[in-house]
Each structure stands twice: as structure tokens, then as C-alpha cells.
Homo-oligomer: A and B are copies of this chain.
């Protein structure tokens, strides 16, 4: 079974503000880089009030990751829209990563949390794992009828994740642009000779 959207828990407006602030901080420095005190200042309330919305930090982390996953997939759109070619879809996937870094100015959440997987609270690392499962599912579908589509999907996602890390460490966001032709060409070749 392919995991689907978690179903919005219709968060209150303030809860959404907290999730948004937590996402930015988490993407910037990882799970430990988020504190209730900072979040409270971000949204203009006290830290005990943040606890009212999210009693435990691990649950806050899980919520942030699930919301991020939904938003990311929402940005990508349908993986099998007939109006888009396979190459269109691969480019759209690349855009998803480019958008994360150049528009949001912070890396992909699951790039950061994925790297610290071994040290995360289980509910959070499970949510991160689920991000990858769902994104690989999207990509696999986007690749269409192709033997080894899932392996290729994993490879494409991995490449984009890693390019983001390198782009970040070297302060060269251009790397994410440069990666696109590599990936488009790879997909083209795999479809010719699977």
C-alpha cells in the first residue's frame, strides 16, 4: 500500500503559525535547533502556550514533517497528468528542490532530518521515512511504464537530496540547476534501454 496524505488535522491558526516557524528552524539546523522558547518568540506568545498546542516536541516534529510532505507533494501536482511528458515531470521534481532552496532559502526538511535519522525520536524518523516513501512513489508513477522505475526513482531523489547538501555546503545553489540536465538525460536513456 502506498501511504497517502495524512488528512489535515485542521490546526488552529496559531498552531499553523507554530508549525511554519518550526519548519523554518528545523530546516535550518535540524531537530535540536528548534526550542519552545524560540518558537514562542516567533509567533508572539509564551513557551507554555506553545506547549498547549503541541505538548511534546516529538509530536511537534512529526506534525512538521507530515505537513511538509503534504505541501511538497502538493507542489509537484499529479504524477500522471496526461498533459505532461515524463521529462516534464522529472523537471517538475527538480523544480521542487530548486524552489525549496532558492525561494525558501533553507534546504529540504527531510534532507536535514534524514541525515540525523539515527538520533531522532522514533515518531519523527518514521515521518521522515514516510516522506521518502511517498516521494519515491510519486516519482515512480511519474516515470510511467518502465521496468526498474522504482530503483530509478530512488536514484533521482537521492541525487537531488545530495545536490542540495553540496549546494548548501559550498554556497552554490546553481548546482541544483546543473543537476537537471543530468537527470533528464539519465531518464531518457533508461527509457530507451531499460
Contacts and interface: CB of A to CB of B under 8 A. Distances in A.
Interface of A: 28-30, 32-33, 106-107, 110-112, 114-119, 125, 128-129, 131-133, 151, 154-155, 157-171, 175, 178-179, 182, 186, 189
Main secondary structure of the interface of A (DSSP, over half): helix
A151 B172 CA distance: 12
Closest 5 CB pairs of A and B: A162-B162, A29-B119, A161-B162, A114-B169, A32-B32
Instruction: Tell which of A107, A115, A159 has the most Cβ of chain B within 10 Å.
Output: A115
Contact of A110 (B33, B151, B164, B169): B169
B165 A179 contact: no
A120 to B, nearest CB: 8
Contacts of A163: 155, 158-159, 162
